[in-house]
Structure 1
Amino acid sequence: MRTSNDPDGPNVVTRPGRRSAPLSWPVVIFWLVGITAALAVTGVVLSRETRLAPFLVFLPTLIAGRGTVRQTAVAAAWTTLVIIGALLRSPVETGAAYVSVIAFAVILSGLSLAQAVQRVRREGEIVRLRSAAAALQRQILHPFPLVTDELVVHGLYEPVEEDNQVGGDVYEVVATPFGSRVFIADVQGKGLPAISAAFAVLNSFREAALTEPTLTAVVNALENSVLRHNSFAVHAGEHERFVTALVLNVGSGTKVQAIDCGHVPPFLLDGERPGRVSLGEASVPLGLASLDPEPRTVRSFELPQGATLLLCTDGVTEARSPSGDFFPLEERLVSLGDVPPDDVARTLRNELQQHTRGRLTDDTALLVLRRKPVLPTQSAPGD
């Protein structure tokens, strides 16, 4: 199998983990001065300057939610000084009340600083986690396009960016003596444990695809891989996981063999009626074979020369709009018929962004398989 080294076509369309956008200093100063001035004017109008001044103690808490530690410290110092100045200008009736107001301001300012420190540290950990996950994905998943004797495969993988929700979507295309074998999977759950399970089953597929003569034997190897990983996970105090997967074998003929282990079925983009490929009832996900007495069944469908097939994870089919509507993938397939295969993934990603208003909540993995047309055999000179 050959892969592209084109920097504009990486397999992982990922961005670094991101911190929440910090407040700018002009915004912080506007809040401090603006709210202080508003309370001062209100106090003058109501003749209650001293009674309104303690409301400023909540300013550092507001800044701590989005600002830096330094901005929170400035807000805390500003608030404390303004309250002390207000009390000196218009003293309260008793010294105990004076001390109580100052003590409350200092304590709340300290808690705000602690909140800011904890938030910044947590966001830094999330950034490091996402950077490590993205680095692992870049090293283990091959870049597009993936090329075999039978297929040219374009696509993308874009992990979700929110918090620490790194996912376990993986894919692979392997050229084997038995044809081109294609694998796309989604591990239950999120985080580094999910990535660990995904890489375990991915490596198992790479080995089994090259050595096992039948697709059933490949999937059995994947099942055993998930069971072994779950066994190690239990000993390490982690949760067992299952894996939804779709495994294909594309030979030189027009027939494609497929085993669907609880995954999103493939979609045909060509023809008058593009849409979902019928594979019958899906088998149970990998890791759950003991729950189903029926063995996994190999299904077959036609993929003519030059036809295009779309594989994806549920991050595509279950993407929701702000109103809660699912992404209408099957409706969009009609408009994708005229899109070049190398642009299908990019087009769908843009449509997903529009549908969700840029708020994707799950990993997005897409494979666009184009079966190579059979070239006419050239006759030797003099024949």
Structure 2
Amino acid sequence: MLDWLSRNRSAVGTGAAAYAILVGLFLVGVFVDAEIPGAVALGIVPAAFAALCPPWAVARLAAAAAVFAAYLTMEYENTGTATKAIHLGVVVGLGVVGVWASATRVRHSIQLGQARSATLILQRTVLEPIPTDLPGYEVSALYLPADLETKVGGDMFAVVRSRHGMRVLMGDVRGKGIGAVTTAATLMACFREAAHYEPSLPGLAARLEERIAQIDEERAGPADERFATAVLFAFDEPTHLRMLSCGHTPPLHLRSGRAVELELPINAPPLGTAGLYDRIEYAEYRVSYVPGDVLVVVTDGVTEARDPAGRFYPFGERLIRWGHHGAQRIANELITDVTIHTGGRLRDDAAVLVVRKAHDDEMSPVA
């Protein structure tokens, strides 16, 4: 309701300004000199406000301009009938152009809104909701696209509660648009299925590598044109997590007010690049992870975000501020802060996934 009132108040103000300018030009013609600025200048007003007013408002403005122009040309212009007709025709023509431009803008706006809705549905379908029944863990994830016109990108995350324990994937597919989101969807579907059968993270990574290679075989283009960074996690031990990275941005581990970057000794290359190597080693590592600890995984849209002066976003430094909050609060604060840091202009899609290990008294029974 408040948005509707705000939009209508803005429209009324714009319309009032347009009529004020129109009347001002008319009065100049009547009381100063009909040739300064001249009747033709009245036609500029509806054309100029076509970008701000709806078609019906521009049509009314154009009609008023035509009436004022007719009065000025008939009563004050010392020219021939043909010249007066030309002047009046220009005003009417500019009014028609203004109405057409406004109608075209509105039509394109509606089409863009429909495209945004369709692609947002697509993105939500790809990024399935985080499971709510994850005893012992609090998990939250957010996605912010850089391309606000289409709302699709290649960032991906998935959380699966398998028979082997909770499995988490965060990744970033090269490129943007439908191609990137389709590849992301395929990899996430593969992960969600394989997580139930592969107890080891190297096994999961091998499955994902095989699947992205199949995508390259199914579609046109060299194999090295389609790849994705990814990081995999296994939460199935009381005091440790296991992780494996395929060229992805190192996650941060929050504990006792400190943020530690989890840079692994062996980092496998991105998924989809196996053909460039003689042999790939997928190595998983155990990391201490006790109640109260928080794991924050992001894509490079966060770590490489820059402010208008070109300064990178201080990821770890800012994150410490919210380490004592819940997973959802941390994700919300981080995305909001990145947006503020960049002035609302992200250069790349940004995804955030936060996993907080709950204390014993916070754990809910398994449903």
Structure 1 residues 73, 189: CA separation in 2 closer, same or farther (over 3 Å shift)? farther
Q: Which residue of 1 aligns with 2:189?
A: 203
Rounded to whole Å, the distance in 1 between the matches of 2:85 and 2:71 is: 13
How much has 1:197 moved relative to structure 2? 2.4
Rounded to whole Å, the distance in 2 between the matches of 1:55 and 1:261 is: 64
Structure 2 SS opposite 1:168: strand
Which of 328, 341, 365 is the matching residue for 2:314? Answer: 328
Letter in 2 for 1:326: F
**Kept in 1: contact 2:305–2:342 (CA 8 A):** yes
Letter in 2 for 1:174: V
Structure 1 residues 367, 337: CA separation in 2 closer, same or farther (over 3 Å shift)? same
Structure 1 residues 241, 105: CA separation in 2 closer, same or farther (over 3 Å shift)? farther
**Kept in 2: contact 1:148–1:174 (CA 8 A):** no
Which of 345, 353, 367 is the matching residue for 1:367? Answer: 353
Q: Which residue of 1 aligns with 2:53?
A: 67
How much has 1:267 moved relative to structure 2? 0.6
Q: Which residue of 2 aligns with 1:259?
A: 244
Which of 276, 280, 283 is the matching residue for 1:298? Answer: 283
Structure 2 SS opposite 1:57: helix
Aligned length: 352
Rounded to whole Å, the distance in 1 between the matches of 2:265 and 2:101 is: 53
How much has 1:330 moved relative to structure 2? 1.3
- 1:135-154 paired onto structure 2 within 5 Å: 135-144=121-130, 146-148=132-134, 151-154=137-140
Structure 1 residues 166, 138: CA separation in 2 closer, same or farther (over 3 Å shift)? closer
Letter in 1 for 2:322: L
Structure 2 SS opposite 1:309: strand
TM-score for the superposition, normalised by structure 1: 0.77
Letter in 2 for 1:86: L
Q: Deviations over 1:91-132 (max 9, x none)?
A: 352444334333433333333333222222222222222222
Rounded to whole Å, the distance in 1 between the matches of 2:219 and 2:86 is: 53
Q: Which residue of 2 aligns with 1:242?
A: 227
How much has 1:202 moved relative to structure 2? 1.1
Letter in 1 for 2:251: P
How much has 1:168 moved relative to structure 2? 3.3
- 1:43-192 paired onto structure 2 within 5 Å: 43=29, 47-49=33-35, 51-144=37-130, 146-148=132-134, 151-159=137-145, 162-192=148-178
Structure 1 residues 294, 368: CA separation in 2 closer, same or farther (over 3 Å shift)? same
How much has 1:205 moved relative to structure 2? 1.0
Rounded to whole Å, the distance in 2 between the matches of 1:52 and 1:128 is: 43
Q: Deviations over 1:269-328 (max 9, x none)?
A: 114631321125754433333345552542425132212100122332233434443322
Rounded to whole Å, the distance in 2 between the matches of 1:225 and 1:122 is: 39
Q: Does 1:348 align with 2:301?
A: no
Structure 2 SS opposite 1:260: strand
Q: Deviations over 1:188-214 (max 9, x none)?
A: 344344332221111111112222343
Which of 232, 239, 255 is the matching residue for 1:270? Answer: 255
**Kept in 2: contact 1:146–1:173 (CA 8 A):** no
**Kept in 1: contact 2:142–2:331 (CA 8 A):** yes
**Kept in 2: contact 1:158–1:365 (CA 8 A):** yes
**Kept in 1: contact 2:305–2:312 (CA 8 A):** yes
Structure 2 SS opposite 1:188: strand
How much has 1:266 moved relative to structure 2? 0.7
**Kept in 1: contact 2:131–2:159 (CA 8 A):** no
Q: Deviations over 1:227-284 (max 9, x none)?
A: 444555539xxxx643332222233164443333333221111146313211257544
Structure 2 SS opposite 1:274: strand
Rounded to whole Å, the distance in 1 between the matches of 2:320 and 2:155 is: 26
Structure 2 SS opposite 1:321: coil
How much has 1:366 moved relative to structure 2? 1.8
Rounded to whole Å, the distance in 2 between the matches of 1:241 and 1:66 is: 43
Structure 1 residues 156, 231: CA separation in 2 closer, same or farther (over 3 Å shift)? same
**Kept in 1: contact 2:74–2:84 (CA 8 A):** no
Structure 1 residues 28, 331: CA separation in 2 closer, same or farther (over 3 Å shift)? same
Letter in 2 for 1:125: Q
Letter in 1 for 2:53: G
Structure 1 SS opposite 2:79: coil
